[in-house]
Amino acid sequence: MALTKINNNTLSAITGLPAGVGGKVLQVVQSTNKTFSNYTANSSFRDISLSVTITPSSSSNKILIKGQVTVGMDNGLDQGYGIGLRILRDSTALNLPSVGGSQMTTFSVGTTGSNDDDCITAPFVYLDSPSSTSAITYKIQALGRDSKAFAINGPGDLNDDTNTNARIASTSSIIVMEVSA
């Protein structure tokens, strides 16, 4: 039987991809939140039960973070109110704007109107360079504009999660992918 050589190495001596073969997805981890949850008015970002942990195999690899969050605003708010969302790597917020105060967000979504039966799904994507081989937890946090109440995975009527034709609901998810350098 002939011995196969790749880049002048025997098969048993290969420990990684040959140089110049970056951009390959090495692992994928997903988490989904299917639960309707309401969050009362608060001036701080809140965890929304959407997190995932991944351990990169090389500190030079990147992590592609993507997913969507479904949000609804509380009853009686004027059109144009929204929810700020941010991606955190452990406790560090990622991709924040250079302007703003305590309500800086990675991405945001405006509500569709003043009707509390409405909700909207906000997609997100970000390529992170964590420079680590330790376990990393990515999570999503949310804050209602002007500290208003909001809902996740359903309509903004915080007192009504009933299953009626007037109510729209969806799920939220986060997917992280390790991408080779």
Task: Give tens-digit pLDDT for 46-80.
Answer: 999 999 999 999 999 999 999 999 888 765 444 55
Contacts of 160 (CB under 8 A, 6+ apart): 167
Contacts of 38 (CB under 8 A, 6+ apart): 149, 150, 151, 152, 158, 161
- Tokens 């965890």 correspond to 47
- In this structure, the strands spanning 9-10 and 136-144 are unpaired
Q: Tokens in use for 155?
A: 């309509």
Count of C-beta atoms within a 10 Å radius of residue 9: 11
Least confident of 46-50, 84-88, 111-115, 116-120: 111-115
pLDDT at 58: 96
Task: Return the CATH class of domain 33-157+169-179.
Answer: mainly beta
The 10s digit of each residue's pLDDT in 73-101 is: 765 444 556 788 899 999 998 987 777 66
Give me the mean pLDDT over the 5-10 stretch: 62
This model's pTM is above 0.85: no
Q: How do the domains of the chain map onto residue ranges? A: 33-157+169-179
Give me the mean pLDDT over the 115-135 stretch: 86
Mean pLDDT of the chain: 80
Residue 147's SS3 state is helix
Cα–Cα distance for residue pair 172/160, rounded to 1 Å: 19
pLDDT at 77: 46
Give me the mean pLDDT over the 122-150 stretch: 91
Pick from 142, 110, 112: nearest CA to 39: 142
